[in-house]
Structure 1
Amino acid sequence: MATTWDRARLEGLIGAELSNRKFIAVSNREPYIHRFTEDGIACFRPASGMSTAIDPIMMASGGTWIAHGAGDADAEVVDQNDSLQVPPDSPRYRLRRVWLTKEEEEGYYYGLSNRALWPLCHVTFTRPHFDEADWQTYRRVNERFADAVIREADGEPAVVFIQDYHFCLLPRLLKERGGDLKILQFFHIPWPNHEMFRPFPWKEELLDGLLGNDLLGFHIRYHCQNFLTTVDRFLEARIDHEHSEITRQGQSTMVRPFPISIDAEAHARMADSDDVTARMEKWRKRLRLGNRLLGLGIERLDYTKGIPERLRGYEKFLTEHPEWHGKTVFLQIAVPSRSHLTEYQRIEEEVDLAIERINWKFRQPHWQPVVLIKEHQSQPEMMALHRLAHYMTVSSLHDGMNLVAKEFVMSRSDNAGVLILSRFTGAYRELEQAVGINPFASHEVAQAIAFALTMSPDDQALRMSRMREHVLQNNVYRWGGKFLSTLLRISDRFEP
């Protein structure tokens, strides 16, 4: 068995190989956010798979995380360099905030990032929206973050770890400004094939920006191959498909798959805590479960997550299996997201109508088939629901990875429960013992629910134990360690 990666091993790698370099992470979303409350300023951890994955890396590195300061009280707690030490209860690294105007956030984040790149990359039949003003704002914000990185590096050697699709231009901007920077970037969402990418009006500049990286990572090899082919079609560059390397204007970019994960052991410990056990009982009472079996869905209200498709599958299940009426209930946690965008308003309305229809159609005295909660739940609350659920459905229409699936698995130390998982997620390629579905096919979703509800305890235990073993072995520290180890192996390519 391969050596297990943990925080100590990652810290050892960073200390031994990168101690002479600053470590700088860059993302749009900050790992900690400050807001005004009735009791004063409070610190929160935003719901974010990216933040959950990067935070342990930063805890191990003790570096600096540069992110957009979005909280209404963020400016009240920083020093003269717009920085503060985090986490609040046990500081391990520095958070440096970049301030954006409302207009910049609208154009760069809600506009180009989430109305153009997000639907384009997720291939969920949602039409992308391209606006020249949004693109110009996206460029300006990338330049703003480049300024922040250069100030943070302050002329010293540094590793810059860029996160996601919000900063496609940042790597090239940093390369152009010089300095001894090793630049790597992880793309948390899928990369589409070249035909899907063709309509993007500024594709040459965006691709060139990404090729400023020394190392570019995606979740799975398929997305790497899509990226190589896209560059081959639209840029003058030398593509080495065998070694997954792109050379443009004398600079090489390595493209590699790095399946992201979670801090599995820490998650499992918290899930087994007395606090989570107590919250389970509260949920039992709130949902009036009794002897009913709980089905569960937890995600943002996003059109890529397949919530309407999931509900249509559940409706078909109830239609075809009247023997389960009153014996099971489905809880959908759907946290509103990007709510002022038309596409997100539309999906919220579709979810509301679907649940209203199902509950009207099948409801009995003292039984409501579907419960919808549109509120963010803390990690312990979600773990309590993971442990209560007989099955959990992850029906994403397209997802780079989906960490919710891995979190559910690591909450189940009892080796019980069933994971119903979309074949269009990166996680499905790892969690092979999940019950796979095509979320677009409601009959498959219905069949999977029926299968999950009748699966024997022995079958559940066999499947869950194997998935837990995989996630434990392939944790977030392994993800970070493999990323950095790959960077070190190709270090002879970097110019001094």
Structure 2
Amino acid sequence: MGRKPATGKVNRMDNPHNRLIIVSNRLPYRIEPDEREGFAFTRTVGGLVAGLEPLHAQPGNVWLGWADEPAGLDEAGRARFERALAERSCAPVRLDERDAELYYEGFSNSALWPLFHGFPQHTRFDEEAWEAYVRVNERFRDAVLALARPGDTIWVHDYHLMLLPSLLREALPDASIGFFLHIPFPDYETFRMLPWRRELMRGVLGADLVGFHAYDYVRHFLSSCRRIVGVENESGTLFADGRLAQVDAFPLGIDYVRYRDAARLPAVRRLVAELGEEKGHEGCKLMLSVERLDYSKGIPERLLAFDAFLDRFPEWRGRVVLVLVTVPSRENVASYAALKKQVDELVGLINGKHSTMDWTPVDYYYRSLPFERLVSLYAASDVMLVTPLRDGMNLVCKEYLACHDGGGGALVLSEMAGASYELHEALCVNPFDQEGVVDAMRRALEMPEAEQRRRNAPMQERLARYTSEKWAREFLDAAADVKRRQAGLSAHLLGPTSAGRLLEAFRGARRRALLLDYDGTLMPFSDDPARVAPDARLRALLQQLGAAARTDVAVVSGRDRATLESWLGDLPVDLVAEHGIWFRGRDERTWVLEEPLSDDWKDAVRPVVADFVDRTPGSMLEEKDFSLVWHYRMCSQELAERRVIEIKNALGDGLADRGIALMDGNKVVEVKPRGVDKGHAAHRWFRDPAYGFVLAAGDDRTDEDVFEAAPESAWTVKIGDGPTRARYALKNTGEMRALLEQLAVACAEEDAEGGDGASPGAGRRDVLRAPATVMPRTRALARA
């Protein structure tokens, strides 16, 4: 699931011609009252702001987020406030007070935050809060649309705005839209608890690129894509509503140099020395814990582990101090107030139990700390405890390592933090295993400095290399690469000019091959697949083309061999049945099995598919020699979408072991042998150097294998819209038939002239004087 390398990429951060609109819940400034001006701006700290600051600073780029106008401003003050925001390249989104409360505290932080962190007991599902969440996301959409220009990249951040990508996609179908989730994405069984799970999945899938901090979150998201909205993926690439999108992991880094250099400042060094004096005993070691007050951070569990550590290893009493820094958070929420009370009581309990006249085991701070003070704590600490119960990334551990650049210091890190995937040299612990945490505390305190340096060095090297700025750069480069891949899958409509070139190439080739799908290409679809027999006009067309001296025609279909033989077996065409399993040459009367295959698996799979037929009115089961097909063209759309997800879930996990695979077609799900497809079958013609002209045409996912396998010189044509690997597209079967009629006319003229068409220019004038019944249809094609 690694990222595909971008080809010929332009560094998005160095390109002034492409503007970036950053969209997050809040602007990167804290806006506070000021007696003189009426307001004051303070740049907020944190990984997101640090990572995006170089981008935000570039001319033209804009940061859009929720901002409340300071109270008490007169008209002149409001005008100054607007100018101050514009000078800082910020665009405010203003929210109704009630909507803001329901959207932020009600849905974002009472439903999504606890559920995504694995705390369903703290989750509250409220319809009114959901409706406010929808309205606020729509308000953000309107604000973005007021700013957006063609060519802009829009980067949406975090769980507050999960509906926004699809809202923007509806209004700006060609825009470059990225989405990044900065918290964990839960497993399917947890996520499915959310009543609005489908809406959120569809919302995020409006983005071209969806980013997470860790591959586990990617895996969980892709599982929900399949099981909730029926969207499959291949190595993180998926097609949502006919549009290619990519899902990948981009672990957020820090501004490593800033923390490393700050730890070396004289003022910070003085603070470090002062902290050493405050320890109370010579040789007393410092353990540090810095967390925002939240139940996901495991602060009570950390305190209980420290209490158990002092009980189990009494020799450390008086020799270690735990500095506990807890940053206030959501103080008006009852569950957070209860958590604060619990932490206060535990600190009091531990200090009351273990303190001596000259030593207090827990030094407790309930406040935010200035940057220099925080860095000094990092630099002075012998051990860093980062043991959240669940965390999307956690940058504190990275900041600690940067402040110890080239030196010692022991990191105890939770396996449940996203950072653990990068920092595996740390002492990694299960935060729910108290004995394991206690033992890690002991190991960290007793670890020789040489081992500390040995563990830290590779982590520090990685962090210095993969900074927050590189994180942003890689995400935007990947987003640009997705747009290039989308462009590569967007076929040009085959209009008169390109149709003329095709006909010229056809006439100039000594030998030609036409590989044609059947359903949706030569004949339109029908609710009843059995009622799509070729009409007389199509049979006459295939007869004329197949009988031409220099032209070979092959119908490459998913149909069973008996049907193809009854419909087309008397015509001079090659036949490929069941997506490449069976082949019958034009001059032969027997079918050849392309590879030795078994149908033993059918007995296990057939009852499952039959059960879905029974439960889905309008669907049907078709059984071929080596495949089973579930057709749902006549089902209601809503029921069909749900059943497709269910049948994939019912069959998906156990198929690989049997050597079979699920394949999506046009209103069908087919179970067939793995590794057998139309592309493999088409190699019979593609690898034959005698063919100077090859045309391959098809309409659905099964034909993409042919387009992918085709040589660059081949003319590949997709029938219908949507992304494709084909070079060209036609709108419907009528246009495809019109194109084949032109080729048939060329064949008839060659036969009448008795020539071999060896000259590439032969018949060039005839491109413009094809019969009137043919050319009007071709002119109706949109221009390439």
TM-score w.r.t. length of structure 1: 0.90
Q: Given that residues 121 and 192 in structure 1 are in contact (C-alpha distance below 8 angstroms), is that contact kept between their aligned partners in structure 2? A: yes
Residue of structure 2 in register with 1:4 after alignment: none
User: SS state of the match for residue 245, structure 2?
Assistant: strand
Match of 2:357 among 348, 362, 365: 365
Match of 2:344 among 336, 341, 352: 352
Q: Amino acid of the residue matched to residue 36 of structure 1?
A: P
Residue of structure 1 in register with 2:510 after alignment: none
Match of 1:310 among 302, 314, 330: 302
Q: Does 1:140 align with 2:135?
A: yes
Q: Per-residue deviation at 1:335?
A: 0.9
Residue of structure 2 in register with 1:152 after alignment: 147
User: SS state of the match for residue 25, structure 2?
Assistant: coil
Residue of structure 2 in register with 1:66 after alignment: 64
Structure 2 CA distance for aligned equivalents of residues 75 and 426 of structure 1: 43
Match of 1:382 among 374, 380, 383: 374
Q: Per-residue deviation at 1:447?
A: 0.7
Compare 485-494 and 322-331 and name the one that shifted more: 485-494
Match of 1:30 among 27, 31, 35: 27
Residue of structure 2 in register with 1:453 after alignment: 445
Residue of structure 1 in register with 2:118 after alignment: 123
Q: Amino acid of the residue matched to residue 426 of structure 2?
A: A
Q: Unpaired runs of 5+ in structure 1?
A: 1-11
Q: Per-residue deviation at 1:178?
A: 2.2
Residue of structure 1 in register with 2:41 after alignment: 43
Q: Does 1:437 align with 2:434?
A: no
Q: Any residues of structure 2 matched to 1:74-153 within 5 Å, and which?
A: 82=82, 84=84, 94-124=89-119, 126-153=121-148
Structure 2 CA distance for aligned equivalents of residues 301 and 74 of structure 1: 32
Cα 1:74–1:311 change in 2 (3 A) is farther
Structure 1 CA distance for aligned equivalents of residues 448 and 127 of structure 2: 56
Q: Per-residue deviation at 1:74?
A: 11
Compare 63-72 and 434-443 and name the one that shifted more: 63-72
Q: Amino acid of the residue matched to residue 51 of structure 2?
A: A
Q: Given that residues 244 and 254 in structure 1 are in contact (C-alpha distance below 8 angstroms), is that contact kept between their aligned partners in structure 2? A: yes
User: SS state of the match for residue 157, structure 1?
Assistant: coil
Residue of structure 2 in register with 1:403 after alignment: 395
Residue of structure 2 in register with 1:185 after alignment: 179
Superposed CA offset, 1:377-416 (max 9, x none): 1222111000010101001111111111111110113512
Cα 1:287–1:338 change in 2 (3 A) is farther
Q: Amino acid of the residue matched to residue 398 of structure 1?
A: R
Structure 2 CA distance for aligned equivalents of residues 411 and 68 of structure 1: 33
Q: Per-residue deviation at 1:364?
A: 0.5
Q: Does 1:416 align with 2:414?
A: no
Superposed CA offset, 1:272-321 (max 9, x none): 22232233244445665654211101110001111111111111110011
Q: Per-residue deviation at 1:151?
A: 1.1
Q: Amino acid of the residue matched to residue 13 of structure 1?
A: N
Q: Kindly indicate whether structure 1 or structure 2 has the higher relative contact order, using CA contacts under 8 Å at least 6 residues apart.
A: 1
Structure 2 CA distance for aligned equivalents of residues 329 and 84 of structure 1: 45
Q: Given that residues 388 and 417 in structure 2 are in contact (C-alpha distance below 8 angstroms), is that contact kept between their aligned partners in structure 1? A: yes
Residue of structure 1 in register with 2:335 after alignment: 343
Structure 2 CA distance for aligned equivalents of residues 318 and 30 of structure 1: 44
Q: Per-residue deviation at 1:35?
A: 0.9
Structure 1 CA distance for aligned equivalents of residues 80 and 175 of structure 2: 25
Please provide the CA RMSD for this pair. Answer: 2.4
Q: Amino acid of the residue matched to residue 372 of structure 2?
A: P
Q: Does 1:253 align with 2:245?
A: yes
Match of 1:322 among 314, 319, 334: 314
Cα 1:281–1:103 change in 2 (3 A) is farther
Cα 1:221–1:78 change in 2 (3 A) is farther
User: SS state of the match for residue 397, structure 2?
Assistant: helix
Structure 2 CA distance for aligned equivalents of residues 488 and 54 of structure 1: 17
TM-score w.r.t. length of structure 2: 0.58
Structure 2 CA distance for aligned equivalents of residues 78 and 284 of structure 1: 49
Q: Given that residues 13 and 473 in structure 2 are in contact (C-alpha distance below 8 angstroms), is that contact kept between their aligned partners in structure 1? A: no
Match of 1:425 among 402, 409, 417: 417
Q: Given that residues 317 and 446 in structure 1 are in contact (C-alpha distance below 8 angstroms), is that contact kept between their aligned partners in structure 2? A: yes
Q: Given that residues 83 and 96 in structure 1 are in contact (C-alpha distance below 8 angstroms), is that contact kept between their aligned partners in structure 2? A: no
Residue of structure 2 in register with 1:173 after alignment: 167
Q: Given that residues 351 and 360 in structure 2 are in contact (C-alpha distance below 8 angstroms), is that contact kept between their aligned partners in structure 1? A: yes
Structure 2 CA distance for aligned equivalents of residues 330 and 379 of structure 1: 20
Residue of structure 1 in register with 2:475 after alignment: 483
Q: Per-residue deviation at 1:179?
A: 6.2
Q: Given that residues 388 and 431 in structure 2 are in contact (C-alpha distance below 8 angstroms), is that contact kept between their aligned partners in structure 1? A: yes
Structure 2 CA distance for aligned equivalents of residues 24 and 81 of structure 1: 21
Match of 1:205 among 193, 199, 205: 199
Q: Given that residues 412 and 427 in structure 2 are in contact (C-alpha distance below 8 angstroms), is that contact kept between their aligned partners in structure 1? A: yes
Bigger radius of gyration, 1 or 2?
A: 2
Structure 2 CA distance for aligned equivalents of residues 413 and 121 of structure 1: 33
Structure 1 CA distance for aligned equivalents of residues 13 and 429 of structure 2: 43
User: SS state of the match for residue 192, structure 1?
Assistant: coil
Q: Per-residue deviation at 1:125?
A: 5.3
Q: Amino acid of the residue matched to residue 417 of structure 1?
A: G
Structure 1 CA distance for aligned equivalents of residues 58 and 317 of structure 2: 50
Structure 2 CA distance for aligned equivalents of residues 318 and 72 of structure 1: 49
Cα 1:48–1:416 change in 2 (3 A) is same
Compare 67-76 and 458-467 and name the one that shifted more: 67-76
Q: Unpaired runs of 5+ in structure 2?
A: 1-9, 493-784
Identity %: 33
Structure 2 CA distance for aligned equivalents of residues 184 and 451 of structure 1: 43
Q: Given that residues 268 and 411 in structure 1 are in contact (C-alpha distance below 8 angstroms), is that contact kept between their aligned partners in structure 2? A: yes
Structure 2 CA distance for aligned equivalents of residues 54 and 15 of structure 1: 10
Q: Given that residues 292 and 329 in structure 2 are in contact (C-alpha distance below 8 angstroms), is that contact kept between their aligned partners in structure 1? A: yes
Structure 2 CA distance for aligned equivalents of residues 100 and 106 of structure 1: 9
Structure 1 CA distance for aligned equivalents of residues 478 and 73 of structure 2: 37
Compare 37-46 and 323-332 and name the one that shifted more: 37-46
Residue of structure 1 in register with 2:463 after alignment: 471
Q: Given that residues 295 and 390 in structure 1 are in contact (C-alpha distance below 8 angstroms), is that contact kept between their aligned partners in structure 2? A: yes
Cα 1:426–1:354 change in 2 (3 A) is same
Structure 2 CA distance for aligned equivalents of residues 173 and 196 of structure 1: 25
